[in-house]
Amino acid sequence: MIFPLILGLAFFAAAYSIWGGLSAVAWTDVIQVVLLVAGGFITTLIALDHVTPDGGIFADIDHIYQQAGDKFHMILHRDHPQFLNLPGIGVINGGLWVANLYYFGFNQYIIQRALAAKSLHEAQKGLAFAAFLKLLLPIFVVVPGIIAYVMYMQGEGTTSIEGMRTVFDRADGGINYDLAYPWLLKTFIPTGVKGLVVAALTAAILSSLASMLNSTATIFTMDLYKPYFSKKTDGSDLVRVGRISVIVSLAIAVIIAPALDSMPQMFQYIQEYTGVVSPGILAVFLMGLFWKKTNAKAAIVGVLSSIPIALLLKLLPIEMPFLDQMLYTSLLTIVIILMVSLLTANYDEDPKAIPLPKETFKTHFNFNIAAYAVMIILVVIYAVFW
């Protein structure tokens, strides 16, 4: 059943990313974020109201906190079974910085939205707005998961639902956590609202897929094909090659996707194995932006050496959390870039170098206010749910 759905998503994503380009992707984002925020709030509130037989959102919030208070802790102790996924205080001052800075700051799939802005000021507005949206994610993602957990455990005072455990139990004795949100939608959400939420989730998947396809076409065409293979000086073949690269990459994804259905934690898998390459890329960008002596040779050596370093830390029998592996890989890569740059110093300006005047790093007053507000909110959230 899943393969026809994969083909359908691939077809629609290809259709509007190939012919609509980034503009179509951006407008899809605008629509789906409105639907996701509205649908997410509605789903969470309705599910909360059904946790106990008597209902009541505030009473049910208190109930789930009493039944699963440990699920609200953001900083885990070393003896916690999920410590290797969220390594305690290391989440704040460790590899989580690497994962987030790379993904939101140096991943072309994400930053293409900012690069397409009318001006630097407009791009900063979009980034600030996205940061506030990100703060809402626990309401849409974490709280529904905790609600499903409380109802699965069927503790005292929780609404009794017949056959609840059989929905989530795997044949191998494990628990299928991925069914939590679909089960909440199916069980509690009215038909009209259910369709709204499913449509929003589908739009989000399509938007992400189309954005990746757009990035794939851009990177392959502009960074590989144009400088090394293109024979036409006017660039008339670039659009055609970009569309071909989209189709090829999408075909590969469709072939691989069904095999990933057996993964117990797909998102976790993506984060962990993206962490093999992301620390090196982050190190190159940070050194290139903030240290003038960084040269191209050091960047190449750094990004290539980061992969074996990451794999070595992963394969060594030291049971290190993958977020910590990302942190150490990034730090070691920075050291390598530093040393190679000093050993191969060339004080003649590289003709391909991009000038970075102080104005490039200047942020608007409104953006600064928004940034401080986000940081204060984050500090409060971590303090309350430590």
The predicted-structure confidence for 31-79, as pLDDT tens digits, reads as follows: 778 878 888 888 888 888 888 888 788 888 888 888 888 888 888 888 8
Q: Model confidence over 100-127: pLDDT tens digits?
A: 888 888 887 778 778 878 888 888 888 8
Residue at 223 is within a domain: yes
Unique residue bearing structure tokens 């608007």: 364
Q: How confident is the model at residue 235 (pLDDT cuts 50, 70, 90)?
A: low
- Mean pLDDT, residues 191-197: 81
**Band of the pLDDT at 233, cuts 50, 70, 90?**
low
Is residue 252 assigned to a domain?
yes
- Whether 208 has a pLDDT exceeding 80, the answer reads no
| Cα–Cα nearest to 215, from 246, 239, 237, 240 | 246
User: For the chain, what is the domain count?
Assistant: 1
Domain CATH code at residue 169: 1.20.1730.10
Q: What pLDDT is recorded for position 197?
A: 80
The parent domain of residue 106 ranges over: 2-264
* Confidence tier at 96 by pLDDT (50, 70, 90): confident
Q: Is the dihedral of CA 302, 303, 304, 307 positive or negative?
A: positive
CA 189, 195, 197, 202 dihedral sign is: positive
Say if 312 falls within a structural domain: no
The answer to the question of residue 269 being in a domain is no
- Does residue 345 lie in a domain region? no
Average pLDDT, the chain: 82
For residues 116-145, average pLDDT: 87
Tell me, yes or no, whether 191 lies in a domain.
yes
pTM of the predicted model as reported, rounded to 2 decimal places: 0.78
Does any domain span residue 100? yes
Nearest to 43 by CA among 132, 144, 179: 144
Structural domain includes residue 90: yes
Q: Contact, 48 vs 54, CB < 8 A?
A: no
What letter would DSSP give residue 159?
P
Least confident of 53-57, 274-278, 301-305, 332-336: 53-57
pLDDT band at 376 (very low <50, low <70, confident <90, very high): very high
CA distance 11 to 92: 40
Buried b / exposed e over 2-21, threshold 16 CB at 10 Å, is eeeeeeebbebbbebbbeeb
**What pLDDT score does 350 carry?**
64
Residue 309 has what pLDDT? 92
